[in-house]
Amino acid sequence: MLSIQKDLQIMKNKDKELQDIYNKVFSETIKHIKNHEPQMVAGTLMAIAIRLYKTSLSDDGFSQMLQTILDSEEDIRPYGDDKETLH
């Protein structure tokens, strides 16, 4: 039982860490969009993300990640469709 509680706490901490990173990167992204075309900012973020995945995943894991992204096409919503909007 104690192990399950410990695992749940670790998951909560990871979720918080992920949300913190997202918020920081999102904030910086908004700053760049004010001075540059959104497609330029998005392309730069994608290039960085893909290189990070390529560096940290196996070849098979990298291929699976790219496929997951492609398979998620219908699930991705533009900003403005939810509570987060670009300013």
User: How does 6-17 read in b/e, with b if 16+ C-beta sit within 10 Å?
Assistant: eeeeeeeeeeee
Structural domain boundaries in the chain = 1-35, 37-74
Kindly report, residue by residue over 49-77, the tens digit of the pLDDT: 999 999 999 999 999 999 999 999 999 99
Its pTM stands at 0.74
Asked if residues 18 and 27 have their Cβ atoms less than 8 Å apart, the reply is no
